[in-house]
């Protein structure tokens, strides 16, 4: 798909600064139009219906809006100097995630680009991540990156493949983007190592060694996928280990400029219990991640069958 309208949520932190400059570079390569959106909780919580009429409050709100507009004007000026079309919106809400999701639903954007803080462990569990929540529920793809990311340089795109419908959709997205940028695609299948219980006898044989033909059967399936894309450079790799770790390492060692993954639309307790490889990669990878939501399978099957081959303020 073509990414012509790109939304960049900004909170004026170093993370959104990085996301904006990456988006600016992306727009110069693709011809996309950028839209900046800032969600102000201060404006929402200070409205007169909550506190009554107050000239002092009105003055403070006007001053706050002017500060926001001055901050946004820096981004606007930078985009204008690069001849990249840009507009902005200042939104009011007490819930940043829901407001951004509503805004996405009301406007025909093709892509969201935003920074993520990379928290892990208990800090992440309690604080969560706006970026991860947007990825989980956004109707359009979301590209996340850490503050260490530079300009958009996508020459190789890594796509993890488990042969599910979700990963096949990821290949389609990656190929479309690579064709537009003149890049290549690398498919990666990770054979997850089995953790044996402590009472198993020592000296067990790893599954990939237990079945010598497994590697070749997987490669045959990957090559069959590659045959669907004759007009672009696509190659494939197989590795064994923890999927998120292998994805991050292969992206780094093969100089990938982007990782494209699907997230399966899990929510609530199901998401808490199952977790998400995509979200772990988003948190830990120094390579930007393009994630998009797919509908969860109603009757999920095993993922890999090796046996068968202009500015405004809105309320």
* Nearest one of 107, 132, 100 to 261, comparing CA atoms: 132
- 255 phi, psi to nearest 5 deg: 55, 40
Show me where the domains of the chain are located.
1-151, 153-309
- 59 phi, psi to nearest 5 deg: -65, -40
* DSSP H helices in the chain: 14-30, 41-45, 48-51, 55-81, 96-106, 121-127, 130-137, 165-181, 207-210, 214-226, 243-253, 268-274, 277-284
The CA radius of gyration of the chain, in Å to the nearest whole number, is 22
Instruction: Give me the DSSP letters along 185-205.
Output: EEEEEEEPPP---TTSPSSPP
Write down the CATH number for the domain with range 153-309.
Answer: 3.40.50.620
Tell me the CATH class for 1-151.
Answer: alpha beta
Q: Is the whole-model pTM more than 0.75?
A: yes
The reply to whether 1-151 and 153-309 are identical in fold is yes
- Whether 206 contacts 193, CB under 8 Å: yes
Q: What is the pLDDT along the chain (315 residues), one digit of tens a residue?
A: 689 999 999 988 888 899 999 999 999 999 999 999 999 876 555 454 555 566 766 677 778 788 888 999 999 999 999 999 999 999 988 888 999 999 999 999 999 999 886 454 444 433 347 887 888 889 999 999 987 777 888 999 999 999 988 899 999 999 999 999 999 999 999 998 765 555 555 555 555 555 668 889 999 999 999 999 998 999 999 999 999 999 999 999 999 999 999 886 555 544 443 447 888 898 889 999 999 887 665 554 444 444 343 455 454
């Amino acid at each position: 798909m073509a990414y012509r309208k790109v939304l960049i949520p900004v909170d004026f932190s170093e993370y959104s600064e990085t996301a904006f400059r990456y988006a600016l570079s992306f727009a110069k390569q693709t011809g996309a139009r950028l839209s900046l959106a800032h969600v102000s909780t201060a404006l929402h919580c200070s409205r007169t219906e909550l506190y009554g009429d107050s000239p002092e409050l009105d003055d403070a709100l006007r001053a706050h809006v002017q500060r926001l507009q001055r901050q946004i004007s820096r981004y606007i000026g930078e985009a204008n100097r690069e001849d990249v079309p840009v507009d902005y919106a200042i939104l009011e809400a007490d819930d940043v995630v829901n407001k951004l999701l509503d805004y996405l639903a009301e406007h025909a954007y093709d892509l969201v680009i935003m920074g993520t803080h990379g928290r892990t462990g208990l800090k992440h569990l309690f604080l969560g991540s706006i970026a991860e929540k947007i990825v989980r529920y956004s109707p359009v793809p979301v590209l996340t990156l850490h503050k260490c990311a530079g300009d958009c340089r996508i020459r190789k795109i890594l796509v993890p493949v488990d042969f599910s419908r979700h990963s096949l959709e990821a290949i389609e997205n990656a190929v479309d983007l690579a064709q537009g940028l003149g890049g290549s695609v690398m498919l990666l299948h990770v054979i997850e190592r089995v953790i044996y219980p402590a009472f198993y006898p020592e000296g067990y044989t790893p599954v990939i060694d237990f079945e010598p033909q497994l590697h070749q059967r997987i490669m045959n399936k990957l090559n069959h996928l590659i045959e669907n894309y004759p007009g672009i450079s696509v190659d494939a790799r197989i590795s064994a280990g923890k999927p998120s770790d292998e994805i991050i390492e292969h992206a780094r060692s093969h100089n990938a400029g982007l990782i494209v993954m699907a997230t399966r639309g899990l929510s609530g307790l199901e998401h808490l219990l199952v977790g998400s490889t995509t979200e772990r990669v988003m948190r830990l990878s120094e390579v930007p991640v393009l994630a998009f939501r797919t509908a969860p399978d109603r009757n999920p099957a095993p993922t890999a069958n090796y046996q068968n081959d202009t500015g405004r303020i809105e309320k």
